[in-house]
Structure 1
Amino acid sequence: MPDAPKADRRPVVTPVRVLIALCLTAPFVAMLWVGSYARAEPSVAGVPFFYWYQLAWVVLSTALTLAAYKLHRRDRRSRGAAPDGE
């Protein structure tokens, strides 16, 4: 008997998937809320807050995207799905 079609599967919302979504949306929210960082003080090594805050989010976004990727792979493995690309 053939397997059930993939269209019959409904997405499941789990705490891990919510955490993945938060990791991916946090950088957007932080950068779109300009009023939170549109100032010059405090400066770090003479660089105004406006600039170093944005630069810090480059590094944080990379870390959050990596964390989301790792969580997604672990979630797929725990559900018995084949890894991406196979």
Structure 2
Amino acid sequence: MRVVIGLCLLAPFVAMLWVGSYAKTDPVFIGIPFFYWYQMLWVLISTALTMIAYKLWQRDQRARSAAKGGAEQ
């Protein structure tokens, strides 16, 4: 579970730090060069991935506390 959370949080960094993959103007989307709309798209993707990571973290914490509470009884 924690590996998936880590990947959700790491993916946007890798995508943005790998500039060579998006340092171009084509394809143009509604008049906006690829360089710009790719970065704006990653803002939305990063938000979704962060939300997913947070929900998975909450689920993991609940499961750990339930397992810990069950082991004490």
Question: Fold conserved (TM > 0.5)?
Answer: yes
| 1:36 to 2:21 alignment | yes
TM-score, length-scaled by structure 2: 0.88
TM-score, length-scaled by structure 1: 0.75
Over 4 Å off, 4+ runs: none
In structure 2, how many angstroms separate the alpha carbons of the residues matched to 1:51 and 1:45?
12
Task: Give 5+ residue unaligned stretches, structure 2.
Answer: 67-73
- Higher helix fraction: Structure 1 or Structure 2? 2
For 1:65-84, what aligned pairs fall within 5 Å after superposition? Answer: 65-80=50-65
In structure 1, how many angstroms separate the alpha carbons of the residues matched to 2:30 and 2:61?
44
- Paired letter, 2:49: L
Give the % identical residues.
67
1:53 pairs, out of 38, 46, 51, with: 38
> Which residue does 2:11 correspond to in 1?
26
Q: State the aligned residue count.
A: 66
In structure 2, how many angstroms separate the alpha carbons of the residues matched to 1:28 and 1:80?
31
